[in-house]
Structure 1
């Protein structure tokens, strides 16, 4: 079967014919139907998230269960599934206190690029090929832990369902679960990308009265109005802090979200948050980067500065809920898909991502 494999940092992905072992006990084989191209995948390509190579990238995907290993109970062959890149164990400290997004076991898998038993199911020429976040969705088929395959309703197109696995859950969840945005509040979102657009529509779902979208791409800023933005700021033409203060009577916003992953925009999000407001960092920066904020402001302005990982979601519960919201006409998914690519065109998708052209490029797998 074909898969997109990263062999060396900084290089393009290669379309390879890789071998895939059958699912073992507690594992599920999925025939991939669609996979989103996300900045987190690009972070691995650029070595900002150094992981073992060669590796099959991709962590946002949907498909059909093709086979199950011994003991699998939650899904069966033929089920439609969205893949979950935080396959929480259910037993560690964080799972026990109701924070499966912080699962210790899932965090280990992130760094290992393997299945929970420490081995891989992909191989090439008899040598192991790693799986990004234990799922590796840029492949015609993949084998994943059972808890990474979340059954969903069958009436949602795969290209749309795939987005729930990362960008939608991350953006909407950051608003509803992490920040708990209140109706009538003011919100600013730095970064009009796959996640940022979902932060915007999450704020609209929460009843925010003012939603300020901030980016440097005029076409994306114009599109944010469709998702609920009430105001836009072009950061390439205006001073962001001054512009936000002008729009909020000099106070700053109640809630600011950073959805790019740059230290300077993270600090900017903090600076546009009013006293006693909340700043939520959603974007992923390189592990060796730091954010500078004024030390005196931490106690004197009493702001909350926090992060959000996968929107603080619980995928087995939240993925189906998000798709129910879509089916009910409450959540927009179609406008998020800017371009459909074949697996062979995946490097074109990455180039468009780097150029800021797409909200979300999606791989559609051949039947």
Structure 2
């Protein structure tokens, strides 16, 4: 089968880390190759219809992943963990986690609690470390076929467009994170109106949040979409949002703020966004980290000086994944987040796409909307 294989290279990792998006795409450690069809007892072969390019995939390719998590993934690997598949003519969303049950192990304490996203055995058992997309034994969605155990496959509700259905996995991350904000605050500020931020905005309303939702959007088209998705107000920058709600104090060369928002949701995945979220949260407020910043610096004083609370969301439980799939029929318009659908051969163009990029590994003819 055709697949995009990521093979680690320390020189390219460090060069990409320094140059970021300026690093030549042709030198990224990614190659289109032919691999044997995957087989494994107890797993079902799934034909990949669509697979998304996630911010964590880009972080890996551009050397931004934190080294501390590297022991829990294995390479070379076919990337792609946001997967819409097809089994016997039916569309399914694929839960990409590989936990105790997948690894032939008795359940760890977290799996016993139903918290598979916190499985303590992700580097143990009969499989290499990692989940689909970050595992050398099982290919991810940037190839024509994957393997998954039957209970990892969730039927897509009728009449849900494929370009919306492929967002089930990041939506599940968002659903889990939003649950951690309960009891609901009266207001939420979302930093970053990329895919995760807009998913969070849409999901908040679908989950019954009736308070105020404000957004920080970098670009005009993101601001327009945020308003269309139900934002009560949009700011062009974190500073603008801060000055709207907080009082500024100065001493010598330094400035500080009092006031802000009850909950600040960071969805940009940047260190700058994390620092801004800590500043934007009011005294006793909460910060939800949906993005995935790696190594960076931050002023930690808000945790004790303002008693700001911090929670994060990385994966999900089976129930949360099922809930995300069940929400898909209500979330009309999510398919508008897609910035283009590409064959595997066009991976350099996919990594440069504006908006959410998808791979169509089987090569079906889909228009690119750039």
- Does TM, scored on the shorter chain, surpass 0.5? yes
Which of 25, 40, 47 is 1:31 aligned to? 47
**TM score, norm. by length of structure 1:** 0.78
Moved over 6 A (4+): none
Q: Could you say what secondary structure the match of 1:277 adopts?
A: strand
**Aligned partners of 2:46, 2:279: CA distance in 1, in Å?**
44
Contact 2:271 2:296 in 1 (8 A): yes
CA displacement at 1:154 relative to structure 2: 5.2
CA gap of 1:149–1:41, structure 2 versus 1, over 3 A, is same
Equivalent residue number for residue 252 of structure 2:
none
Residues 1:152 and 1:330: Cα distance change in structure 2 (over 3 Å):
closer
Q: Corresponding residue for 1:361?
A: 357
Report the alpha carbon displacement of residue 188 of structure 1 after superposing the two structures with TM: 0.6
> How far does the alpha carbon of each residue in 1:233-269 deviate from its partner, in whole angstroms, 9 at most, with x for none?
1128x444223438xxx73211111112222321211
Q: Given that residues 85 and 93 in structure 2 are in contact (C-alpha distance below 8 angstroms), is that contact kept between their aligned partners in structure 1? A: yes
Equivalent residue for 1:323? 325
1:59 partnered with 2:81:
yes
Cα 1:209–1:153 shift into 2, 3 Å? closer
Name the structure 2 match of 1:117.
127
- Would you say how many aligned residue pairs link Structure 1 and Structure 2? 323
Instruction: Return the alpha-carbon distance in structure 2 between the equivalents of residues 216 and 262 of structure 1.
Output: 13
2:186 corresponds to 1:169: no
Which residue does 1:260 correspond to in 2? 268
1:125 is matched with none
Task: Look up the match of 2:117.
Answer: 101
Quote the offset at 1:92 in angstroms: 1.2
Q: Distance in 2 between matches of 1:335 and 1:21?
A: 33
Q: CA deviation at 1:273?
A: 1.2
> Which residue of the partner structure matches residue 16 of structure 1?
33
- Alignment pair present for 1:351 and 2:352: yes
| Structure 2 equivalent of residue 85 of structure 1 | 96
Structure 2 residues without counterparts, runs of 5 or longer: 17-26, 102-106, 248-257, 365-370
Indicate yes or no: 2:320 matched with 1:309. Answer: no
Cα displacement (A) at 1:330: 4.7
- Distance in 2 between the 1:47 and 1:251 partners? 36
Is residue 216–residue 236 contact of structure 2 (8 Å, CA) maintained in 1? Answer: yes
Shift of 1:143: 2.0
Residue aligned with 1:15, SS: strand
Which sections of structure 1, spanning at least 5 residues, go unmatched? 66-76, 110-114, 123-128
Q: Which residue of 1 aligns with 2:192?
A: 191
Matching residue of 1:219: 221
Specify whether residues 181 and 199 from structure 1 end up closer, same or farther in structure 2 by C-alpha distance, changes over 3 A only: farther
**By how many angstroms is 1:61 displaced?**
0.8
Give the equivalent residue in structure 2 for 1:112: none
1:5 aligns with 2:18: no
Structure 1 residues 83 and 323: alpha-carbon distance in aligned structure 2, compared to 1, 3 A threshold: closer
Equivalent residue of 1:40, what SS?
Answer: helix
TM-score by length of 2: 0.77
1:143 is the counterpart of 2:147: yes
2:209 aligns with: 207
- Distance in 2, matches of 1:27 and 1:17, equals 21
Q: Deviations over 1:264-283 (max 9, x none)?
A: 32121122112222111111
Query: 1:178 Cα deviation (Å)?
Result: 1.8
Taking the aligned partners of 1:322 and 1:139, their CA distance within structure 2 comes to 24
